[in-house]
Amino acid sequence: DVKVTQSSRYLVKRTGEKVFLECVQDMDHENMFWYRQDPGLGLRLIYFSYDVKMKEKGDIPEGYSVSREKKERFSLILESASTNQTSMYLCASSSYDEQYFGPGTRLTVT
Amino acid sequence: AQSVTQLDSQVPVFEEAPVELRCNYSSSVSVYLFWYVQYPNQGLQLLLKYLSGSTLVESINGFEAEFNKSQTSFHLRKPSVHISDTAEYFCAVSKGNNNDMRFGAGTRLTVKP
């Protein structure tokens, strides 16, 4: 079974803090993704990576950056957290024909 | 770019009743279609997918979906729901390389006893 793990299930940070969300997959997938999930909006793609050190912006990259130094690990970085970044963050990795999701990190920025 | 519309944000039903969750998509090219399910406090799990071949696809827990190209739809159905089917369901579409998957806004299915 594919396993995608995320470093935290729940996180509370203060406005202006730098926040790191970590994601690890164990299936040697080349593609990895970060989404945020908000009620009524579904999942929106923040960034994806198709190889080590390669990244592409998704639909809502503003305020976020990513890092992929190793194939199995994809990190999402909030340089200066703001209250409008309070959300559920989902990481996924992808085989040819489907995406596999981690359990999510619920981030609250106060 | 492709897009997905889930026509119902919430669907309440009684246990053992049939249910249909509606999904329409738009795309100018051939697509792959997916239904994912999200149980409370969990990530998304693939329920079923259409890649090619038979337009009727089934999941192991009794759900089915039919790809209708002329109506650009991929509705999800189950003839008799259980309490344990209570979850949020997401329809998704991609052009095949999975770097461009688009999700609908989700339908919250609530099964009542």
pLDDT tens sequence across A8-66:
999 999 999 999 999 999 999 999 999 999 988 899 999 999 989 899 999 999 999 99
User: Which of 51-110 (B) contact A at CB < 8 A?
Assistant: 51, 90, 96, 98-99, 101, 103-106
Of B32, B36, B42, the CB nearest to A97: B32
Q: Residues B110, B112, B113, CA angle at the centre, nearest 5°? A: 155
Stronger pLDDT, B89 or A97, i.e. the higher one: B89
Burial A51-83 (b: 16+ CB within 10 A, else e): eeeebeebeeeeebebbbeeebebbbebeebee
User: Which residues of chain B have a CB within 8 Å of the CB of A42?
Assistant: 4, 6, 90, 103-106
Residue B84, classed as helix, strand or coil, is helix
Q: Using CA atoms, how far apart are residues B64 and B76, in angstroms rounded to an integer?
A: 6
Name every chain B residue with its beta carbon within 8 A of the beta carbon of A45. 101
pLDDT of residue B28: 75
- C-alpha distance from A45 to closest chain B C-alpha (Å): 8
Span A84-96, mean pLDDT? 93
Other C-beta atoms within 10 Å of B77: how many? 14
Enumerate residues 4 to 43 of chain A having a beta carbon within 8 A of any beta carbon in chain B: 4, 9, 31, 35, 40-43
Residue B83 is predicted with a pLDDT of: 96
| C-alpha Rg value of chain B to the nearest Å | 13
Measured between CA atoms, how close is A38 to chain B, in angstroms? 9
**What's the pLDDT score for residue A88?**
95
pLDDT of residue B42: 86
Backbone angles phi, psi at A13, to 5 degrees: -130, 160
Best mutation site among B30, B49, B99 for testing chain A: the one with the most A CBs within 10 Å? Answer: B99
Q: pLDDT in tens for each of the 113 residues of chain B? A: 778 999 999 999 999 999 999 999 998 778 899 999 999 888 899 999 998 888 899 998 899 999 998 999 999 999 999 999 999 999 999 887 666 788 999 999 999 99
